[in-house]
Structure 1
């Protein structure tokens, strides 16, 4: 096993440990819908279908980026891909760096022939490898879009992480102008603030994924792998660094530019997805809650997706909304709380 494969396997094992889920600060429970005692709709009429990158999806759910590049990530990704195909929801791969560097086959498309698949590269890898690397990532899985992940805090926490972030924005801009495929950008547990969002939108990025604080804490995961006491002490204050997903959605709603937003970071269930839609997101990505089912089987992932979808529908029923467009106008209790996030 190579060093990078070992790292990916350690990431998987640590991500399954609930102690590496951020505690508090996600703010989802602050977003309270006004309950409607007389919904005046039939639950069967509630429609949560939507479109994403030109494809019809059964729900505003994306299987979020998780893993790649080690032996049992192949099993996980296979189960996720099969479930995505069955449920008609998009799937984002974990970082393709290891697979591309090691020349490993990425057999995903065969399991999900009609699914929206998103490739995945890190910002610093893109700055180093350029559009040629991006093309490799896209072609290796026949991707419908390419997700660029930005993770400066994780890299600072990671042993031998990438500390040179010069040229990342320029590399993203080149991808947007030279590749005939949608480019999406996400953070990794810290959130994309309005300043970064403006810069990214100016490059031609089509979608932003919030990846706010509140889900898997990659700082604690990397510090658990870091044998340097000095580095662990330096990074200790940054364990809670970041903006929650709700904060990101609220701040980005103030921008003048039209936004295509994917909410992620601490999204636990369908009620959280509905909250994200109400706050301006068009889709919500869920990662860690699908990880344990994916280790089990594709049918376990299918069941989890169906549960989340039903939770969205029941939230809409309880607010008297039959479509996602209507959900965006659902009344909130104590909306002034949003201003305090």
Structure 2
């Protein structure tokens, strides 16, 4: 258990370093809205409120999953949960594996009694431990849904990572049919493309988080942690493995139009949130922008949420979009084929 705690603490320390933010952009700089100097709306009339998992949220984004299970993980979660509650923004927890294995109580609902809380487990953990582990994860925090994260590249580079991915899709299908709460499947930085999205939809998954390339590079983080020169040499060509978020969102939306999409992977501000919505996302997720505030205080997280909301509002104003549905049809410059 100490190894897991140390790994999670390493993850937080390394994720804060700029060198472990992907050297590839998420592609957002290639996507430009056509400027609208005649917005014909008032800034205060713009409506950010959205619906997610049957509940109203104040804006179409959530606090994305961050690593958990280290010594200061509880304080981070408290700050995030209190901010999520105060701001009516959903919160995705980091992997709960360490907490469950340590039989550690998770008091998220003490800080966020009414917020949307998303549990989180790795796909291979479900493959190995089955439905009981998923139930424990959800029940331990009274979650509204379960995120199942896919991270094959991270596991390949991680020392003693999981390399047997047989029956992972079947484990996901079992959760979908028997768990009783919605399932959200996400990647961690390489992306979920239309082929995999179709497979997930075929087993009943209604939500995916694309998590494309361009944000925090877990491959880079695990490479720094891996002391094997041979394994580092093998991994070197794969550090930028994956597809950009701006390529994935329209491709998946086109292939699976009924699938709920969460845009993530290099989303850094409110203009990126607007771009994700324009490309077909229903919601977006940001993790890295919240990590430093979460280490400081609840108020710092609330302030970051407020800044993101106002940036999104500005993007909508400058495109003449009074609502999110109008934003989805905002005119684009032809830098990127959509």
TM-score by length of 2: 0.98
Question: Which runs of structure 2 are paired with 1:39-50 in the superposition (5 Å)?
Answer: 39-50=39-50
Q: Which residue of 2 aligns with 1:76?
A: 76
The separation in 2 between residues aligned to 1:260 and 1:71, in whole angstroms, is 34
1:338 aligns with: 337
Between the aligned partners of 1:60 and 1:283, the Cα distance in structure 2 is 5
- How far did residue 328 of structure 1 move? 0.2
State how many pairs are aligned. 338
CA distance in 1 between counterparts of 2:197 and 2:213 reads 16
User: In the alignment, is residue 299 of structure 1 matched against residue 299 of structure 2?
Assistant: yes
- CA displacement at 1:256 relative to structure 2: 4.6
Contact 1:210 1:249 in 2 (8 A): yes
* Map 1:149-188 → 2, pairs under 5 A: 149-188=149-188
Residues 1:221 and 1:256: Cα distance change in structure 2 (over 3 Å): closer
Instruction: Using the TM superposition, give the Cα deviation of residue 92 of structure 1 relative to its aligned residue in structure 2, in angstroms.
Output: 0.2
1:103 aligns with 2:103: yes
Q: CA deviation at 1:129?
A: 1.1
Shift of 1:68: 1.2
State the partner residue of 2:289: 289
Contact 1:250 1:338 in 2 (8 A): no
- Aligned residue in 2 for 1:231: 231
Shift of 1:24: 2.9
Shift of 1:257: 4.5
Q: C-alpha offsets along residues 257-296 of structure 1, whole Å, 9 cap, x if unaligned?
A: 5110000000000000000000000100000110000000
Label 1:55 to 1:165 Cα distance change in 2 as closer, same or farther (>3 A).
Answer: same
Cα distance per residue 1:67-99 (max 9 Å; x no partner): 211110111111000000010000000000000
TM-superposed deviation, 1:251: 1.3
In structure 2, what is the Cα distance between the partners aligned to 1:217 and 1:188? 8
Asked whether the equivalents of residues 25 and 266 of structure 2 are also in contact (C-alpha less than 8 Å), the reply is: no
Task: Report the equivalent of 1:274.
Answer: 274
Alpha-carbon contact 1:67-1:77 (below 8 Å) kept: no
What is the rounded CA distance, in whole Å, between the counterparts of 2:102 and 2:24 in structure 1?
38
How far apart, CA to CA, are the structure 2 residues paired with 1:244 and 1:91? Answer: 24
Partner in structure 2 of residue 22 of structure 1: 22
Q: Which residue does 2:11 correspond to in 1?
A: 11
Alpha-carbon distance, 1:179 to partner: 1.5
TM-align CA RMSD: 0.9
| 1:105-131 CA distance string (max 9 Å, x none) | 111111000000000000000111111
1:142 maps to 2:161:
no
Structure 2 gaps of 5+ residues are none
Q: Extract unaligned runs of 5+ from structure 1.
A: none
Q: Is the 8 A contact 2:24 2:213 kept in 1?
A: no
